[in-house]
Amino acid sequence: MIDDLLEPLIAFRRDIHAHPELGFCEHRTAGRIAEQLRALGLEVHEGIGGTGVVGVLKNGTSTRSIGLRADMDALPIHEQTNLPYASKTHGSFHGCGHDGHVAMLLGAAQHLARSRNFDGTVNFFFQPAEEGLGGAREMVKEGLFERFPCERVFGLHNWPDLPAGTIATRPGPIMAAADRFEISLEGRGGHAAIPQDTPDAILAAASLVTQLNSIVARRIAPTASAVLSITQIHGGHTHNVIPAEVSVSGTVRTFDAAVRDVIEDALRKIAAGVAMAHDVTAHVDYQRCYPATINDAQAAQEALEAARTVGNAQIAPEPAFTSEDFAFMLQACQGAYIWLGQAKAEGSVPLHNPHYDFNDDVLGLGIRLHVALAERHLAKG
């Protein structure tokens, strides 16, 4: 029943791949999606959270409802696949497979619009700007779940670490919260030969790096998990000058809001303490980007049950330390984030790599999973 949809959908996926658009600029992509949803007879809403598109499909009399989400944006990477349908836009590339996500959700809309084997409302959410810009947050802020109420919301992401045919999810945390920080240490600057007159921002930065690395080891319980990585130090320009300013930057990943609070608090205290000890001043810019993606236990169970009807379903043993702005939808609505395996027998290319491409062999499985989630939650009778 779904197989006849695949050939045109693969062509559609490759067209989106050839015309990638960065976050909040998905005008062509959103336009093509809206056009297709309208042709299916769905109620279509555009411009939600920037370039977001929502398609609403109702059947029967039930007030039950479900939301299914796909992200639409590309990454600022120069594609190096040499595929016939490679990106025509220099420096923009579907390196996270969101082209595949769009095609799978559109396929589910096509199938459900004609089969109508459900009773209730299916909301198809095509969101902008997943890659760092928080398109899901913007849609939620604009009242997504008030305008299109959902008892459950599910998001599917292709997963190169799992073999094609495998579907995995887990109750509780599945993706990490991602924060970034920059600490500027400011002294006065002066002659390197007269250290007694010049506070040393370089030495303060060295101490800061060591102290910050003690936070996870000494302040967080061994049974919890977190990452603090320092990824940049900038300061100094020549051999005989003590610089006036040095900056230290990095990222923090956590799964638990309390652990996140402890880390930010400790980081601020250490920056202040180190600055005081070295007679410099510290300015801390700590930005909480995406929260942790936390699956509702019941919704994760439902997702696994739906997955079992279409593929090889498994409980993911541990969460990933990467992050995902579907987290904002899960803060507003019970639901689950699901990994769709896409590795070929010969291996796989990781997400965000310039040689990556979505595996069209799993497109049908992704459609079947979306359909199973909708038909299961909105079962007739």
Binding positions for Mn(2+) are: 96, 98, 131, 157, 352
Nearer to Zn ion, 96 or 363 (CB): 96
Cα gap 28→19, rounded to integer Å: 8
Spatial CB neighbours of 245, under 8 Å, sequence gap ≥ 6: 184, 185, 186, 187, 189, 201, 235
CB of 321 to Zn ion, least distance (A): 13
Let me know how long the chain is: 381
CB 154 within 8 A of CB 79: no
CB of 61 to Zn ion, least distance (A): 37
Nearer to Zn ion, 96 or 338 (CB): 96
Residue ranges for the known binding site are: 96, 98, 131, 157, 352
Q: List alpha helices for 279-362, DSSP H.
A: 297-308, 326-332
CB of 87 to Zn ion, least distance (A): 15
Nearer to Zn ion, 96 or 367 (CB): 96
Interaction site with Zn ion (CB under 5 A):
96
Residue nearest to Zn ion (CB): 96
CB of 348 to Zn ion, least distance (A): 15
Spatial CB neighbours of 310, under 8 Å, sequence gap ≥ 6: 167, 365, 368, 369, 372
CB of 72 to Zn ion, least distance (A): 10
Nearer to Zn ion, 65 or 166 (CB): 166
Handedness of CA 340, 342, 348, 350 (dihedral sign): negative
DSSP assignment letter at 340: E
Nearer to Zn ion, 110 or 323 (CB): 323
Q: How far is CA 134 from CA 50, 73, 140, 141, 329, in A?
A: 11, 11, 10, 11, 11
